[in-house]
Amino acid sequence: MARETKAQKASRLTFLLGEYDAKSRELRKLTKQVDELKEKIKAEDAGTYGDWAFAYGTPREILDQPAARAALKEAGLEVPLTMTSAPIVVTNTAASGR
């Protein structure tokens, strides 16, 4: 298999970064729309409506991180931390005038 040239790599990455940017923007927009719909639905009673039925699941108990952090500090304990992986930051340099 032939090695990828610098121009080929640039072309491939240009496509990947463009796709990533477009899908990320689309995901944020869709997530916002879904969250808005959830709020409207939560105001209603569970039941069957036309072809659709909805119910409320079982709530989960999760760690209250700010309260846990405060409790550990108050007890004189070190708050255990872990490093996340670096986020991918994609900027369209043509659109931003760079």
- pLDDT tens, per residue, the chain with 98 residues: 889 999 999 999 999 999 999 999 999 999 999 999 999 999 999 999 999 999 999 999 999 999 999 999 999 999 999 999 999 999 998 876 65
The half-sphere exposure of 90 on its side-chain side, counting CA atoms within 13 A, is 14
Does residue 60 fall inside a structural domain? no
Does residue 6 fall inside a structural domain? yes
Write out the two tokens for 31: 């997530």
Does residue 94 fall inside a structural domain? no
Does residue 83 fall inside a structural domain? no
21 Cβ contact partners less than 8 Å away, ≥ 6 residues apart: 90, 92
The pLDDT of residue 57 is: 95
Does residue 20 fall inside a structural domain? yes
Full residue range of the structural domain in which residue 23 is found? 1-45
What span, in angstroms and rounded, lies between the C-alpha atoms of 79 and 46? 41
Does residue 65 fall inside a structural domain? no
User: How many domains does the chain divide into?
Assistant: 1
